[in-house]
Structure 1
Amino acid sequence: MDINQKDFIETVHVRGVQISLLASGDGTEIIYHKLNPGIRWALEPTEGWTALEYLYILSGELKYPAGNGFKVLKAGDSFFRNPVAEHFIFQSYQTTEFLYITSQPIFHHYSKSTHYIMDLAVSIEQKDGYTVDHCSRINRLSMLMGEELGFNAKQLLVLNKASFLHDVGKVKVPLSILQKPTKLTAEEWEIMKKHTTYGRELLESTQVPSLVEAAPIVEQHHERYDGKGYPYGLKKDEISVEASIIAVVDSYDAMTTDRVYQKGRSKEEALEEIFRCRGTMYNPDIVDIFLSLQNKIN
């Protein structure tokens, strides 16, 4: 099938993804997707949602967890559920195009909510002095860790959301604090620390199931294994595995990224620091897995 731009009724571009409505009628929608390499896309059950959902691969490949392994959908393959009763998370390993057909309308809600959340994440990257790839880097490494730990599709979906949106609560932190080039005062630091709780509240307010489930992970990602983190001073197994993953990955990225006020460390220096803080700041099991994957870490 040859899909041309003139065929699209409406198109939305979100980082790494093109979503285009091809046709709509009697509640049914046909939506074209184009995913860049490494992008993940998910189907999840929703209360009251009874639609048939169907994928047809036009080009490329989508890989998804199934049983104890993975299945791969290639050009000409299809996938459907009626309705979706479990979580599925698909990943493109090359540029991939597919048609998504649903018997209940979803495009406008889907594109609006996706844009809203992505815009928030990108705005925080820019305001906080990171490059615009910060959230994507945290997401990529977190998902690598989740896959190594054997997470199921639902766990991967929630980790995917939480890792990309881990700092979304900074949208409520004043710019005078967020962009301050010198050390924060004690009072300013207390305000900064609230970004984890702001993030939880923001995700919960969306009422999107996967974002609501990601909310406590976002709130916990600055907790420490020794109980000296924030906002609640949780320790050891009181901290979710997902938050422990993001804590390690986020610290590594912060150390290796050039900021306005400091030059990033080398990969080797950052890994040494992560290891030094094993069992104090970071869950030792998560550190061990992270270090075992260092050849896959940029």
Structure 2
Amino acid sequence: MDINQKDFIETVYVRGVQISLLASGDGTEIIYHKLNSGVRWALEPTEGWTALEYLLVLSGELRYPTGNGFKVLKSGDSFFKSPVTNHFIFQSNQTTEFLYITSQPIFHHYSKASHDIMDLAVSIEEKDGYTVDHCSRINRFSMLVGEQLGFNAKQLLVLNKASFLHDVGKVKVPLSILRKPSKLTAQEWEIMKKHTTYGREMLESTKVPLLVDAGPIVEQHHERYDGKGYPFGLKKNEISIEASIIAVVDSYDAMTTDRVYQKGMSKEEALEEILRCRGIMYNPDIVDIFLSLQNKMI
């Protein structure tokens, strides 16, 4: 099937994803998707949603976890549910195009919500002095660890959101504190620490189930395995496994990133520091898995 730009009624671009409305009528919508390699896309059950949802792969490959590993959809393969009653998370193994057909209209809500929340996350990483790919790297590394742990589709989907939006609460922290080149005062540090709770509150306020579920993970991602983190001083298994993953991944990326006021460490130096803090700052099981995946962290 050959799809050209002229066929699109409306198009939205969201960091590695092109979403284009091809046709709509009588409640049915046909939406073209183009995913860059490694990008994830999901279907989830929603209360009151009874639509038939169907996707047809035009080119490339989509893989998704099942109870027995992963299943791969290739060009010409299709997938449908009516309605969706479980969580499904698809990842493109290469640049992939597919049609998504739904019997209930969703495009404008779906595309705007995705665009707004991604834009907010990107604005935070730029405000905090990171490169524009910081959230994407945290997301990619976190998902590698989650898959290695055998997370089910819903766990992966929530981790996907939480890892990308882990620092979204920093939008409420003054720029003078975020970008301060010298050590923060005690008062400034207390303000900075509030970003985890701000993030949880912002995600809960959306009333979007997946974002609500991601909220507590975002709030806990600066807790430490020894109980000396914030905001609650949780320790060991009191900390959610998802937050423990983000804690390791975020630290690694922060250490290896060049920022306005600090030159990043080498990959080897950062991994040594992660290992040194195993069982102190970080969950030892997560550290072990993270280190086993180091060849994939480029």
Name the TM-score class by shorter chain: over 0.9
1:21 positional shift: 0.3
Residue in 1 that maps onto 2:129 = 129
Residue in 2 that maps onto 1:229 = 229
Between the aligned partners of 1:15 and 1:275, the Cα distance in structure 2 is 32
Alignment partner of 1:295 is 2:295:
yes
Between the aligned partners of 2:291 and 2:65, the Cα distance in structure 1 is 24
1:265 positional shift: 0.5
1:72 positional shift: 0.5
Q: CA offsets per residue over residues 105-158 of structure 1, 9 Å max, x none? A: 000000111011001101001100000000000000000000000000000000
Alignment partner of 1:146 is 2:146:
yes
- SS of 1:223's partner is coil
Q: CA offsets per residue over residues 53-103 of structure 1, 9 Å max, x none? A: 000010000000112211110111100000000000000010000000000
Q: CA offsets per residue over residues 165-198 of structure 1, 9 Å max, x none? A: 0000001111111111211111001000000000
Amino acid at match of 1:241: I
Residue in 2 that maps onto 1:208 = 208
Between the aligned partners of 1:126 and 1:17, the Cα distance in structure 2 is 20
1:288 positional shift: 0.8
Residue in 2 that maps onto 1:3 = 3
Between the aligned partners of 1:67 and 1:178, the Cα distance in structure 2 is 43
- SS of 1:73's partner is strand
Between the aligned partners of 1:39 and 1:105, the Cα distance in structure 2 is 24
1:262 positional shift: 1.2
Residue in 1 that maps onto 2:260 = 260
Between the aligned partners of 1:94 and 1:11, the Cα distance in structure 2 is 21
Residue in 2 that maps onto 1:83 = 83
Residue in 1 that maps onto 2:98 = 98
1:257 positional shift: 0.4
Alignment partner of 1:43 is 2:43:
yes
Between the aligned partners of 2:229 and 2:8, the Cα distance in structure 1 is 49
RMSD: 0.6
Amino acid at match of 1:284: P
Between the aligned partners of 1:289 and 1:141, the Cα distance in structure 2 is 11
Residue in 2 that maps onto 1:163 = 163
The alignment of Structure 1 onto Structure 2 pairs a total of residues equal to: 298
Between the aligned partners of 1:68 and 1:57, the Cα distance in structure 2 is 22
Structure 1 stretches of 4+ moved >6 Å: none
Between the aligned partners of 1:206 and 1:42, the Cα distance in structure 2 is 18
Residue in 2 that maps onto 1:273 = 273
Alignment partner of 1:54 is 2:82:
no
Between the aligned partners of 1:151 and 1:64, the Cα distance in structure 2 is 12
How do 1:239-258 residues align onto structure 2 when only pairs under 5 Å count? 239-258=239-258
Q: CA offsets per residue over residues 192-245 of structure 1, 9 Å max, x none? A: 000000000000111111111010000000000000000000000000000000
Between the aligned partners of 1:19 and 1:297, the Cα distance in structure 2 is 28
Alignment partner of 1:178 is 2:182:
no
- SS of 1:20's partner is strand
Between the aligned partners of 2:18 and 2:261, the Cα distance in structure 1 is 36
Amino acid at match of 2:276: R
Residue in 2 that maps onto 1:26 = 26
- SS of 1:295's partner is helix
Residue in 2 that maps onto 1:16 = 16
Amino acid at match of 1:231: P
Could you tell me the TM-score, scaled by structure 2's length?
Answer: 0.99
Residue in 1 that maps onto 2:67 = 67
Q: CA offsets per residue over residues 262-290 of structure 1, 9 Å max, x none? A: 11001111001001001110001111111
- SS of 2:71's partner is strand
- SS of 1:273's partner is helix
Residue in 1 that maps onto 2:285 = 285
Could you tell me the TM-score, scaled by structure 1's length?
Answer: 0.99
Q: CA offsets per residue over residues 7-46 of structure 1, 9 Å max, x none? A: 0000000100000000011110000000000000000000
Residue in 2 that maps onto 1:220 = 220
Between the aligned partners of 1:191 and 1:68, the Cα distance in structure 2 is 46
Amino acid at match of 1:186: A
